[in-house]
Structure 1
Amino acid sequence: MFLATKEAGLPFPAESAMAARFYKRSQRWKALSFFCYVIANGLFVLWYAGVSYTKVTGWSSESVVTTTSPISPSSIPPIPSPATKSPLSNLGLSADEAYTLGSTDLSEYKSSLKDFIHTHFPSKLQKALIQGVEQYLPQNGRSTRDLPAMTDYKTGWQTDKSKRLVSLSWRHHNARWNWDMLGDAEANDWVNKHFGGSLIKEVWDSLPVVILKADMLRYLLLLVHGGVYTDIDTTCLRSITHWGKNAVLWKDGKDWLIPSRRGETLESMRKNLGPPSVIIGVEADVGDRPDWHDWWARPLQIVQWTMASAPSHPIMLDVISRIAQSSEGLPAWTAERSANLTELRIHGQVEAAEKLANVLPWADPKAGGHRSVMEWTGPGVFTDAAFRYLNTRYGLTWPVLRNLRAPLRVGDVVILPVTGFSPGVQQFGAQEVEDEQAMVFHAFSGSWKGKALGWKGSS
């Protein structure tokens, strides 16, 4: 009856309900059995093919291990992964990874700078800054016209809380230059005048200690006005016009001089190039020291106590962008620190709470701080901005500047050796102040130290 009803497509009688369930269950088992049969046959075919291949070729897993080839498997180097990086120097990958350049793709670099200009700067400054990005970063990789010379902007800048007089050495060696000294009040007034109502002003106001503001101010001054910035504890040894004189041309100008200038003699190329747009100097060149991390932010570090630049240069713009990015994370750090302090005090952990309360935002993150001075506004972040420009614009990597003993001209930038801005430091191959390469002496007095670290300027 069950089969007849099923074949006829008729509904099952009530008394055959159990039989119907049994039929459905049996059909499922048949399908499962057939599936297992197919899988088993497939595995058998694969096994049989492997056996046949072994008989034909003589290959087996044992033959790989027991091969009599003079080249053992352990001596064969592994095929490198496409993602594997080779270190740029004998200091290893850790030295390369100390630099945080960001994208060095020209289009992405320009786009990021332009976006920063539009979001952070007042409209009255945006046009000049955008023009600077286009001028210094031409899309074809080579400039078809002369770039601005930093010596066309004859203003020297210094900052000091007590507003001491500008060193006579700077006036003596640079008679045609104007010198401007900004104290705390003047610095705040200048920032209010040029950046009031913008996000740059908000970043300035958020900086919790004077040294951070002093660093940011020097970049802003050169970005807007150009000229030379130098710390108050420096002495000018030779005229600014002498800085980088007779610089060696990197790669003899290949890949960065415009076509009409290639093939000239080195002397004529130097003459036709004119003064650079930027002059910077090497601060630290650690050589082979394995402990360099304990002393310097970067294995090849750039000075920022003295620098020269024409206005609207991408290096200055980029370092300010990095400062802004670091500062944006400060409120979150402050909120987390406050919450942790409350939690510790609630649970009676007085000693731990006191220790946390003494951690300042500009302490190293390893010590619980938000960002160290070196990485927030100091030489570390400035070095990254400089190498990003040099790499994106000209293809230069940081090891190129190792063991630099004479000024090097790379496009619109001149880099001085350690002796240039750090004579007499007794390391990195630096010569004494009498050396012809010595341009500025730095006394390393650290006017920002001590009580200044706890000061927050008014806004």
Structure 2
Amino acid sequence: MLRQKSFRSHTPVLFVVVFSLFLLISAKYDYFVKIGFSVPSGHSESCNAVPIPTESSSTQVITSTPIPTPTAVPFPEKIWYKAGPQGVSAEAESFRNHCLELSPSYEYEILDDEAASEYVYKWFSDRPDIITTYFSLNVPILRADLLRYLILWAEGGMWMDLDVSCGEEPMHRWVLKEYREAANLVVGLEFDWPWENDNFLHAQFTSWTIMAKPHSPHMMQVIDDILMGVDEVARQHNVSLDGIQMSMIPQVVDLTGPKRMTWSIVKSLNRILERELDDRDITGLRSAKLVHDVLILPGNAFAASQSNFPKDQGPVLVTHHYAGTWKNKLGGEEGKRSV
């Protein structure tokens, strides 16, 4: 009886407390809704993971948590080019004009050094590691390589080197209809070498032509790996990033070029698929192959000359004319210098 009486005697007090809490919660709810805070419901979307920072020896490299690209987004119809100090040659202009004649819905943009700097500042001001690395690099090819991956991550579209010409296939046909939603990145084989039991990836994708939808996690993997790679070169030679010279780099293709890109894309796929890919997964192609969200084109598509112009791998989509080579002591182009 005492317990029952005690309960009843406190009933008004409990009622006031409960009613006050109800008013407080209602007010807070209205406030958060008013400022745009998303209140979870039974049908709410899952939240994106937060990037996890990691430390490197001289710059802070932020390893971004992969966020899948919405597959309903189409490939942007834009071609990106980078021009050096000498500008664009008549030959390069003719290459570009032919591509645009075949694909009139496409637009293009050519970035010179100044425009490229502005672009990187605009899109990556929240990534001090990217800003520091990009503007510290004094070897032109390293900066040019990094730029293409930054652009493709930020806005997507088609990257083409100036010395690349199109075949006779319009760009909207490069990706078959059944792959257009599922594919977020399109690469072509440069070296289609058979698998060997040596735990080494021999295949290589081209980097003179790449297609991407914005925010591909595979492109960000390439970027993050380049940041760590150049940081390691600086550490090994006991110099700052702006002290890196061409002579310190055994193979540019491994550090920032197509081999680096290939390794990083496969590394990203390995993590997503939770298994180790090898040459058996990506070589010996006669037609396009979709690996998760990466569409791999056979060698004839982007690198017909390296593949000896096979007749059973579909059309030649582009040709790389090797107008110059970056293998001089400064890491810039020499030789023909036509683009």
TM-score normalised according to structure 2 size: 0.68
Greater fraction strand:
2
**Which secondary structure does the structure 2 equivalent of 1:329 belong to?**
helix
Greater fraction helix:
1
Deviation at 1:370, TM superposition (A): 4.7
Match of 1:404 in 2: 285
Match of 1:86 in 2: none
Change (3 A) 1:304 1:185: same
Deviation at 1:240, TM superposition (A): 1.9
Instruction: Say which of 434, 448, 455 aligns to 2:326.
Output: 448
Tell me how many residue pairs correspond in the alignment: 270
1:316 and 2:219 are equivalent in the alignment: yes
Match of 2:185 in 1: 278
Deviation at 1:213, TM superposition (A): 0.7
1:431 and 2:316 are equivalent in the alignment: no
Change (3 A) 1:223 1:116: farther
Deviation at 1:329, TM superposition (A): 2.6
Match of 1:184 in 2: 113
2:83/2:113 contact within 8 Å kept:
yes
Counterparts of 1:58-77 in structure 2, within 5 Å, are: none
Task: Supply the AA of the counterpart residue of 1:243.
Answer: W
Query: Which deviates the most, 306-315 or 321-330?
Result: 321-330
Query: Which deviates the most, 226-235 or 326-335?
Result: 326-335
Deviation at 1:231, TM superposition (A): 0.8
Counterparts of 1:162-173 in structure 2, within 5 Å, are: 162-164=86-88, 165=93, 167-173=96-102
Question: 2-side partners of 1:117 and 1:186: how far apart?
Answer: 30
Task: Supply the AA of the counterpart residue of 2:51.
Answer: K
Counterparts of 1:306-385 in structure 2, within 5 Å, are: 306-335=209-238, 361-363=245-247, 369-370=248-249, 372-385=251-264
1:387 and 2:294 are equivalent in the alignment: no
Instruction: Say which of 154, 157, 168 aligns to 1:227.
Output: 157
Gaps of 5+ in 1: 1-109, 137-145, 247-269, 338-359, 364-368
Question: 2-side partners of 1:420 and 1:443: how far apart?
Answer: 14
Question: 2-side partners of 1:187 and 1:204: how far apart?
Answer: 10
Gaps of 5+ in 2: 1-47, 334-339
Instruction: Say which of 187, 196, 201 aligns to 2:131.
Output: 201
Deviation at 1:189, TM superposition (A): 2.3
Deviation at 1:199, TM superposition (A): 1.8
Change (3 A) 1:213 1:392: same
Deviation at 1:224, TM superposition (A): 0.6
Task: Supply the AA of the counterpart residue of 2:184.
Answer: S
Instruction: Say which of 101, 104, 114 aligns to 2:51.
Output: 114
**Which secondary structure does the structure 1 equivalent of 2:214 belong to?**
coil
2:287/2:313 contact within 8 Å kept:
no
Task: Supply the AA of the counterpart residue of 2:190.
Answer: E
Task: Supply the AA of the counterpart residue of 2:295.
Answer: V
TM-score normalised according to structure 1 size: 0.52
Question: 1-side partners of 2:304 and 2:73: how far apart?
Answer: 26
Task: Supply the AA of the counterpart residue of 1:408.
Answer: K
1:134 and 2:64 are equivalent in the alignment: no
Deviation at 1:278, TM superposition (A): 0.9
**Which secondary structure does the structure 1 equivalent of 2:319 belong to?**
strand
Deviation at 1:287, TM superposition (A): 2.9
**Which secondary structure does the structure 2 equivalent of 1:308 belong to?**
strand
Instruction: Say which of 419, 423, 426 aligns to 2:300.
Output: 419
Task: Supply the AA of the counterpart residue of 2:52.
Answer: D
1:175 and 2:98 are equivalent in the alignment: no
Question: 2-side partners of 1:206 and 1:450: how far apart?
Answer: 20
Deviation at 1:117, TM superposition (A): 9.6
Deviations along 1:291-325, one digit per CA (max 9) or x if unpaired, are x9xxxx95111111111111111111011101111
Question: 1-side partners of 2:237 and 2:276: how far apart?
Answer: 38
**Which secondary structure does the structure 2 equivalent of 1:167 belong to?**
helix
Change (3 A) 1:410 1:331: closer
Deviations along 1:150-200, one digit per CA (max 9) or x if unpaired, are 52x222101120331471122112211110011222212222333347221
Change (3 A) 1:435 1:235: farther
Task: Name the larger-Rg structure.
Answer: 1
Question: 2-side partners of 1:233 and 1:406: how far apart?
Answer: 25
Task: Supply the AA of the counterpart residue of 1:240.
Answer: M
**Which secondary structure does the structure 1 equivalent of 2:151 belong to?**
helix
Change (3 A) 1:324 1:371: farther
